[in-house]
């Protein structure tokens, strides 16, 4: 594949990752971290960029994508896990949320608020999303050559003017976490972007795109996937640092409820009323490309699951669902979907990390299954807690887990499960060797 096509695939991947949440997290991190911004942002990059790249790397070694990877645990787990990832990350959360945010930032500031305005905006928004995702062979050209450069150019204008005009020095960190452990705090903020889950979904889009570009051989597929991922990761890193620096400079001008409020204030300060237009363009483009990527990912996966139903029909189905949910009850969707994401994220990280060591234990299902069981117990607990449930004495015992206060209580159980699984694998192998020797005798 030519270098230019690789660049366009990388730009497309960047645009799919870079949604509204990715715009909001870095600037508020910068404002809160203050003088400790560099360490905090490095921690943020490790999980917000490093984890998704690890996921893409793992998927490049697996024919069949995330379902094949998850099926190493058990076929039923493979189907169940993948369904939860695609549905909760796609039509039941991220797609309608991005469409609503595109309206809130792209149109609402310029009109009299009306329910009809929201319905009309998301109708046009999803029509365009469907049309772009419909022709996957042209997605690279449209998103890589046109939409992503426009998005980057818009952010470039905001960042450059901000660097020049914002003269405030960095303030002291605003929270004890950013004072005592800025790297860890940034690490956790990057973890909360949940882009590793998005990488599971987008992996199938990139693999499909590469095949359409004529890349079919395994080593070449992995190489091109890695190149596209590294380019997307580099762009994400630069953008995150730039937006975070804007947040650092804005921190001296007041306190901000969240990143979107901070960016709105910055764009208004730097460009006047035209700042709302610029920020609206950035949000709409970022939300649009993420929605296109997620609709395409869901369409590809469910078409592979149900080949008799065309990709076009599946993409239309998920577009219509997302359209409906973007208009009604998004807060309810968040309350239901977020617990699934919380429960799934730790399982995703453990699955990906173990898969990177797959050859060292011969791909034994015992290792995968044991690690998933131990991790799953804590993941299920965290998911139910996110629903608002309490469990009395169980809550007390769970709080004793190392890193539980940070939302990382699953780490030690995952390690224990992996060690136990490896022990079972070794015992089975020795048992087979002894049986084989007795048979020979």
pLDDT value of position 48: 92
Contact 197, 17 (CB under 8 A): no
- Which residue range forms the structural domain that includes residue 29? 3-329
∠166-171-177 over CA atoms, to 5°?
A: 130
Would residue 352 count as lying in a domain? Answer: no
Would residue 346 count as lying in a domain? Answer: no
Rounded Cα distance, 215 and 228, in Å: 13
Would residue 202 count as lying in a domain? Answer: yes
Convert the pLDDT of each residue in 27-62 to its tens digit: 999 999 988 999 999 999 999 999 999 998 888 888
**290 and 401 assigned to the same domain:** no
**In the chain, which stretches have pLDDT less than 70?**
1, 216-218, 329-337, 436-441
Rounded Cα distance, 20 and 100, in Å: 10
**304 and 384 assigned to the same domain:** no
Would residue 291 count as lying in a domain? Answer: yes
Rounded Cα distance, 128 and 132, in Å: 6
Report the Cα 31 to chain-centroid distance in Å.
23
**78 and 186 assigned to the same domain:** yes
Sequence-distant (≥ 6) Cβ neighbours of residue 113 within 8 angstroms: none
Number of helices (H), then strands (E), belonging to the chain: the values are: 21, 0
**157 and 294 assigned to the same domain:** yes
∠339-345-350 over CA atoms, to 5°?
A: 145
Query: How many distinct structural domains can be found in the chain?
Result: 2
Sequence-distant (≥ 6) Cβ neighbours of residue 108 within 8 angstroms: 117
* DSSP, residue by residue, 252-297: GG---SSHHHHHHHHHHHHHTTHHHHHHHHHHHHHHHHHHHHHHHH
CATH number at residue 111: 1.20.1740.10
**168 and 314 assigned to the same domain:** yes
**282 and 431 assigned to the same domain:** no
Contact 44, 183 (CB under 8 A): no
**407 and 320 assigned to the same domain:** no
∠31-268-271 over CA atoms, to 5°?
A: 115
Residue of 158, 151, 107, 153 lying closest to 266 (CA atoms): 158
Would residue 239 count as lying in a domain? Answer: yes
**318 and 382 assigned to the same domain:** no
Convert the pLDDT of each residue in 115-153 to its tens digit: 788 889 999 999 999 999 987 777 777 888 888 899 899
Residue of 213, 231, 198, 200 lying closest to 11 (CA atoms): 231
**113 and 217 assigned to the same domain:** yes
Rounded Cα distance, 123 and 102, in Å: 12
**180 and 253 assigned to the same domain:** yes
First to last CA, the chain: 56
Would residue 65 count as lying in a domain? Answer: yes
Residue of 166, 29, 97, 23 lying closest to 323 (CA atoms): 97
**317 and 436 assigned to the same domain:** no
Would residue 20 count as lying in a domain? Answer: yes
Residue where a domain terminates, one of 329, 347, 380: 329
Contact 14, 157 (CB under 8 A): no
**319 and 379 assigned to the same domain:** no
Contact 162, 270 (CB under 8 A): yes
The helix (H) or strand (E) run that includes residue 116 is helix 115-134
- Buried b / exposed e over 63-97, threshold 16 CB at 10 Å, is eebbbebbbbbeeebbeebbebbbbbbbbbbbbbb
pLDDT value of position 440: 60
Residue where a domain terminates, one of 311, 329, 347: 329
Would residue 351 count as lying in a domain? Answer: no
Q: How many CA atoms lie within 13 A of 440 on its CB side?
A: 6
pLDDT value of position 334: 64
Residue where a domain terminates, one of 286, 313, 329: 329
- What is the DSSP secondary structure assignment for residue 403, as one 8-state letter? T
pTM for the structure as a whole: 0.86
């Amino acid at each position: 594949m030519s270098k230019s096509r690789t660049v366009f695939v990388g730009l497309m991947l960047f645009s799919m990752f870079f949604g509204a949440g990715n715009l909001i997290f870095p600037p508020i991190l910068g404002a809160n971290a203050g003088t400790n911004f560099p360490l905090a942002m490095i921690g943020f990059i490790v999980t917000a960029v490093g984890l998704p790249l690890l996921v893409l790397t793992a998927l490049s070694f697996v024919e069949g994508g995330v379902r094949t990877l998850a099926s190493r645990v058990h076929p039923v787990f493979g189907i169940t896990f993948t369904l939860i990832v695609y549905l909760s990350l796609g039509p039941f959360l991220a797609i309608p949320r991005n469409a609503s945010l595109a309206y809130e930032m792209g149109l609402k500031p310029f009109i009299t608020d009306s329910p009809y305005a929201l319905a009309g905006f998301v109708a046009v928004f999803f029509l365009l999303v469907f049309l772009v995702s419909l022709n996957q062979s042209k997605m690279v050209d449209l998103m890589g050559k046109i939409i992503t450069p426009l998005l980057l150019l818009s952010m470039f204008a905001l960042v450059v003017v901000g660097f020049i005009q914002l003269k405030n020095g960095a303030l002291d960190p605003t929270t004890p976490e950013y004072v005592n452990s800025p790297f860890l705090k940034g690490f956790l903020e990057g973890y909360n972007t949940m882009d590793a889950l998005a990488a599971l979904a987008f992996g199938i889009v990139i693999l499909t795109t590469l095949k359409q570009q004529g890349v079919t051989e395994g080593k070449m597929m992995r190489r091109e996937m890695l190149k596209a991922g590294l380019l997307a990761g580099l762009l994400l890193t630069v953008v995150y640092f730039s937006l975070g620096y804007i947040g650092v400079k804005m921190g001296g001008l007041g306190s901000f409820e969240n990143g979107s409020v901070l960016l709105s204030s910055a764009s208004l300060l730097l460009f006047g009323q035209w700042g709302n237009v610029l920020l609206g363009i950035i949000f709409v483009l970022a939300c649009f490309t993420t929605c296109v990527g997620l609709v395409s990912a869901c369409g590809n996966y469910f078409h592979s699951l149900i080949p008799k139903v065309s990709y076009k029909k599946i993409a239309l189905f998920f577009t219509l669902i997302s359209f409906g949910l973007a208009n009604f009850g998004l807060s309810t969707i968040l309350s239901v979907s977020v617990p699934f994401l919380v429960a799934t994220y730790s399982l995703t990280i453990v699955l990906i990390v173990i898969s990177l060591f797959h050859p060292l234990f011969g791909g034994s299902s015992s290792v995968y299954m044991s690690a998933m069981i131990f991790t799953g117990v804590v993941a299920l607990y965290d998911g139910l807690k996110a629903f608002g449930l309490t469990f009395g004495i169980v809550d007390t015992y769970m709080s004793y887990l190392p890193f539980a206060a940070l939302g990382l209580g699953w780490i030690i159980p995952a390690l224990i499960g992996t060690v136990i699984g490896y022990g079972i694998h070794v015992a089975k192998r020795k048992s087979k060797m002894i049986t084989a020797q007795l048979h020979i005798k």
